[in-house]
Amino acid sequence: MLRYVLGRLLGAIPTLFLIVTISFFLIRIAPGGPFDLERPLEAKVMENLNKIYHLNEPLWNQYLLYLQSVARLDFGPSFYFRDFTINELFAESLPISIQLGLSALCLALIVGGILGVSAALRQNKPADYSIMAAATLGVTIPNFVVAPILTLLLGVWLGWLPVGGWNGGAFVNRVLPVVTLALPQIAVVARLTRGSMIEALRSNHVRTARAYGLTSYMIVVVHALRGAILPVVSYLGPAAAALLTGSVVIETIFGIPGIGRYFVQGALNRDYTLVMGTVVVVACFVILFNLLVDLLYALLDPRVRYD
Interactions with other proteins, residue window 116-155 (CB under 8 A): 123, 136-137, 139-142, 144-145, 147-149, 152
Judged by CB under 8 A, the residue of 241, 292, 295, 296 near other proteins is 241
Among 104, 105, 287, 293, binds other proteins (CB under 8 A): 287
- At closest approach, how far in Å is the CB of 209 from other proteins? 7
Q: Which of residues 62-81 bind other proteins (CB under 8 A)?
A: none
Question: How many of the chain's residues bind other proteins (CB under 8 A)?
Answer: 72
Kindly tell me which of 43 and 211 has the beta carbon lying closer to other proteins.
211
On whether the CB atoms of residues 112 and 163 are closer than 8 A, the answer is no
- Nearer to other proteins by Cβ, of 48 and 161: the residue is 161
- Note whether 80 and 271 are within 8 A (CB): yes
67 or 141, CB closer to other proteins? 141
Contacts of 120 (CB under 8 A, 6+ apart): 128, 193, 194, 195, 197, 198, 201, 228
301 lies in the site for other proteins, by CB under 8 A: yes
Q: Does the footprint of other proteins cover residue 270 (CB under 8 A)?
A: yes
Nearest distance from C-beta of residue 8 to other proteins, angstroms: 11
Query: Given candidates 93, 112, 223, 250, which one binds other proteins under the rule CB under 8 A?
Result: 223
Residue 156 or 170 having the CB closest to other proteins:
156
Minimum CB distance to other proteins smaller for 46 or for 248: 248
Q: Which is nearer to other proteins, 1 or 26 (CB)?
A: 26
Q: CA-CA distance, 176 to 147, in Å (whole number)?
A: 8
User: Which three-class secondary structure string do you get for the chain?
Assistant: CHHHHHHHHHHHHHHHHHHHHHHHHHHHHCCCCCCCCCCCCCHHHHHHHHHHCCCCCCHHHHHHHHHHHHHCCCCCECCCCCCCEHHHHHHHHHHHHHHHHHHHHHHHHHHHHHHHHHHHHCCCCHHHHHHHHHHHHHHHCCHHHHHHHHHHHHHHHCCCCCCCCCHHHCHHHHHHHHHHHHHHHHHHHHHHHHHHHHHHHCCHHHHHHHHCCCCHHHHHHHHHHHHHHHHHHHHHHHHHHHHHHHHHHHHHHHCCCCHHHHHHHHHHCCCHHHHHHHHHHHHHHHHHHHHHHHHHHHHHCCCCCCC
DSSP 41: P
CB of 286 to other proteins, least distance (A): 5
- Name the minimum Å distance from CB 168 to other proteins: 26
Question: Which residues 6+ apart lie within 8 Å of 61 measured at CB?
Answer: 54
Q: Which stretch binds other proteins (CB under 8 A): 48-56, 73-81, 173-181, 240-248?
A: 240-248
Candidate residues 252, 292, 297, 298; the one interacting with other proteins per rule CB under 8 A: 252
Tell me which residues in 19-48 interact with other proteins (CB under 8 A).
19, 23, 26-27, 30-32
Least CB distance to other proteins at residue 103 (A): 20
243 is an interface residue for other proteins by CB under 8 A: no
Decide if residue 302 touches other proteins (CB under 8 A). Answer: yes
Stretch that binds other proteins, among 37-45, 47-55, 85-93, 243-251 (CB under 8 A): 243-251
By CB under 8 A, what part of segment 181-220 binds other proteins? Answer: 195, 198, 202-216, 218
- From the CB of 109, what's the least distance to other proteins, in Å? 19
Handedness of CA 119, 122, 124, 127 (dihedral sign): negative
